[in-house]
Every structure is written in C-alpha cells, then in structure tokens.
Structure 1
Amino acid sequence: MTDQYAVVGNPIAHSKSPVIHQLFAEQTHQDLAYKTLLAPLDGFEQVVSDFFNEGGKGLNVTVPFKQNAWHYSQLLTEAAKKAGAVNTLWLNEENLLCGDNTDGVGLVTDLEINQQVLLVNKKILILGAGGAVRGVLEPIITKQPASITIANRTVSKADKLADDFADLMAIEVSNFTELNETFDIIINGTSASLQGDLPPLPDRVIGSQTICYDMMYGAEQTAFNQWAQEKGSQKQIDGLGMLVEQAAAAFHIWREVNPTTKGIIKEIRAGL
C-alpha cells in the first residue's frame, strides 16, 4: 500500500507542496503519494479526522488553519507550543494526533546552510508580529543573535510577542518609522510584499553589509527585496528555500530520512 500524505489549506490549488514531496520521495526511494486537500473555513477538523481515519499518514497545514491545527493536536512538540501554530501533523503509536511547526527550522536552515548567513552575534530586525513571525522566533533565538528587534505597525502586538519569548531572550520592539539603527539581517514576516506594499521603513535600517530575507516568494523579485536592493543591501533572499526546507523537516518527521534540498530548490524556482 502506498502511504498517503497531503497538505490542507484554503485556498490550496497553488501549493507547491505536492511537487516538493514527490521530488523528495523519488530522491529517497519512498513509496508515497501526496495531494492537496481543500478544507472549508469552518470544516478543518473534519477534513483532518477523515484523512487519518482513512489511513492517511501525515498532513502539512497551511493558511488559514495553522492555529486550528495547534488547538486540534493532542500532543505538541516544544517548538509547536512556543510557535502557537502547527504546520505538520501525524499519528503516533498510541494513535494520538501530534503537531509540530517546522517553519522556523526551515528559515534558519535556508539562511545558515543554503545561504551561508550565520545568525550568531548578528543584530536582527524582524518585520511583522503575526503568526508567521511567532512561528520562526524560537529557532532564530537558539542561534544566539546579538539582538532581535520586532517592528510592527501595532506596537502592542510586538510587545505581546516579546513578552511571550522573554524567557528565551530580551527582544526589543518598535514601530516601523522610529527604527534608528542599521541591522545586519532584516527578515520580512509581513505579507504586504505580495501586494506590492512595504512597511514605512527608514533608509537607515539598511547598510552595505545588511542581508535582507523575505519570507514570501514569487516568480518576480518581491517588493521588499526590490526595495532592499535599491537601498544598497548586500544580499536579498526570498522565502522559496524556507518553503522547501520546512517541507524537508516535515518529511523527516514522517519518513525518518533527510532529502537533499539544493537541487529541488533550483527545480521549483525554475518552474515558478
């Protein structure tokens, strides 16, 4: 029997996950099939329950259901507990629904391994204070940066995030316009870039050595990375590598094998 996997979201037709996981399966000689599942906005739990009751082995979860998956999981990894969101589901030997969040690991792996950008002792600015940022904070903190600043339109949201992670590291907060220093690494965790919008950032946040990372990606350069290039940043990276690396981390949870990602990132990029 071929093992069944899927990604669940709404919308979902655009997802690259089936292609990525099929490439992983071919590369590592795993007998599995991977599809998309469109869940009604009020029917996520039923779709998950039906999938596993029918013998499904594992699910990836994408927007807008990552928090639903967090609440629905019976066992959460430490990473998932802190992230407040789940993107990977499976059943353990006791038939309990387990949830993990591999987004942060995906981001850090892409930066440190694929891009050779080390986070240790770096001054990091993170834009946004929503679920995407919460999901990646702990793995970034574990790399021991010199400082982390979270900037957000609504500073109270950034304050809440800083409080929630204060046991791991003191995090500074700011609104966009009051940022007054230059950072080593800027990570855009807002989705504004996809609409061509940019947070109102002062030019001084970017220096000639600054590396800019947009968690979003597309066929064209994102608006954030375009802005970063115009302002003279050293390097601009989009989130495609993060997408493939978070998928690889999920694949390892399910199959206990590590796919090689570099060629697959190139292949997905060529198909955008």
Structure 2
Amino acid sequence: MKKWFAVIGDPIAQSKSPEMHNAWYEQEKVDATYIPVHVKPENLQQAVASFKLLGASGWNVTIPHKQTIIPFLDELDELAKKMGAVNTVVRTADGKLKGYNTDGPGFVKSLEAAIGTSKRTEPVLLIGAGGAARGIAFALQMVGYKNITIANRTVEKAQRIVDEMNAGVAITIQQAEENLDTYRIFIQTTPAGMSTGDFALPFSLEKFPTGAIAADIVYNPLMTPFLQAAEQKGATIVNGLGMFVHQGAIAYEHWLGNYPNTNAMIARLTEQLGGK
C-alpha cells in the first residue's frame, strides 16, 4: 500500500521539502509520496484529525505550527519536550501520533559532517536565542558539547535557555563582539543575512579568530554576510543547507527506518541555489 507524507505550514509554497523527500523515495525505490499542505492556524486541529483519518504515515511541521500542534499529539520525544516544539510527526504502529524535533540534531549532523566529532570540547558561541538556537543548544549538549555561550540582544532570552540546559553562559551581543577571539566555533542562528530580510552581519567580526569554524542556519543565500566575512578571516565555513537536508533525513529515518543519501541532495540543492 502506497504511503503518503506531507509538510504543513502557513505559508507553504516556498518549501523545498516535497522535492527533497520525493527525490529520496525515487532513489530508494520507496512507494510513497510527499505533498505540501497549506494549513491556516485556525484549521490545525482539523488538519491533524484529517491526516490521521486519511492514513498519513507522518508529516513535517513548519511555521507557525511547531508549538501549537503539541496538544493534538499523543506523545513527544525527549528533545521535543525540552524545546516545546515539533517539526516531525510519526504515526506509530499502534496508530498514535508522536512528535519529534529534528532541527537541532540536523544542525549537529551538518556541522560534524564538516568538522568531525573531535571539536566537542572547543568553546562555542551561539548567536541568537530564538527557537532555532534553543534546539541547537540542546542538541549540542546532548552529544557532548560542554562549553557553550549564548549571545543575544535581549540577554534574558539567552539566560532562559542556559537555565533550562543547566549549563553554559548567557551574554549580550556587545559582550560577544568584544570577546570574539575567545571562541572557536561560531553558530549564527538569527535571521541576519536572509535574502528576504536584513542582509547584514549580526555584529562586527573585527576580533574574529583566524582559523575558527563559522556556521549559519540560513541557506538562502548559501553565503550570508556572516559567512563571507568569516571566510575572509580564514574560517571553515558551514552553510545552512546541510541543516535543512539532515533534519529532513532524520525525519525520513523516523518514518522509513533508514538514512537517505544526504550528500547527493546537498549537491543538488546547492546547484539550484547557485552555489558550487
């Protein structure tokens, strides 16, 4: 029997998830399809009930439903509980709906595909304290990163994540800028640099250390101003496309039991986005 999966959001037309997952089904010879479904916030409960009734095997969840879908699910995994956000729903063998969050783990897989696992003791500066930063902070902690500093314009938001992690340090953006040379891994999680928004740096990189690692979760454009400036300082660059592909691959594994070819997908989407 053919399986079907989906991604829900408002808006949803811009999502590259259907193209990615359908390509994987074709490569893996899986009899399945993946569709985008535009769900308005006021229709979310009805949509979840409909997906369950119509036999969806699972679906992805994007803005603005990552938090509000939780009351309509039967259970959550550990990371989704900590984050209070879900981006992947799995229909279990007994018909229950279980929520996962693959964003943070997807970022960690992307980062370590580029730099390996030997850097987990290095000091990390996480820039921003929104939902993405929260997921990445917990995911880094879960695999063994211990020296994490979170910088945000509103330091109280960063402090809340640190308190929940029971680890790390919260500082202001200005403090981060003044002490950049004390960190080795930089993770930019704010919207700064998005092609649809403020195409700018989160702060001055004057004190950026030579040979550090610079990652950004934005993937359109592939090279944000932050990554461009860090590359000029000799940094190892990790763009946001790997996070997008790996979070999707983790969802795929939850649904179908194996990990798809991420390298080929990253190459395919990189070409589409004008990269090399």
> TM-score of the superposition, structure 1-length normalised?
0.92
RMSD of equivalent CA atoms: 1.7
Q: Equivalent residues in 2 for 1:57-96 (5 A)?
A: 57-96=57-96
Name the residue aligned to 1:242: 243
Partner amino acid for 1:153?
A: R
Q: Per-residue displacement from partner, 1:98-151 (whole Å, max 9, x unpaired)?
A: 100111111111111245364411110001111111122222113323510000
- Aligned-partner SS, 1:199: coil
**2:181 is aligned with 1:178:** no
Question: 1:212–1:233: 8 Å Cα contact kept in structure 2?
Answer: no
Aligned length: 267
Give structure 1 regions of 4+ aligned residues with deviation exceeding 3 angstroms: 114-119
Residues 129, 157 of structure 1: 8 Å contact kept? yes
Q: How does 1:33-44 map to 2 (within 5 A)?
A: 33-44=33-44
Change (3 A) 1:118 1:70: farther
Corresponding position of 2:212: 210
CA distance in 2, matches of 1:24, 1:202: 39
Summarize deviations over 1:184-231 as a string: whole Å, max 9, x none.
Answer: 111011112212133234522x2112111001111452122123234x
How far apart, in 1, do the equivalents of 2:172 and 2:129 lie? 11
* Distance (whole Å) between structure 1 residues aligned to residue 28 and residue 114 of structure 2: 20
Equivalent residue, structure 1, for 2:202: 199
Could you tell me how far 1:70 is from its partner in structure 2?
A: 3.0
Q: Which residue of 2 aligns with 1:9?
A: 9
> For residues 104-123 of structure 1, what are the structure 2 equivalents within 5 Å?
104-116=104-116, 118-123=118-123
- 1:32 aligned partner: 32
CA positional deviation for 1:254: 0.5
The residue type equivalent to 2:261 in the other structure is T
Identical positions, percent? 35
Long gaps (5+) in structure 1: none
1:119/1:140 contact within 8 Å kept: no
Give the TM-score normalised by structure 2: 0.91
Q: Is the 8 A contact 2:205 2:230 kept in 1?
A: no
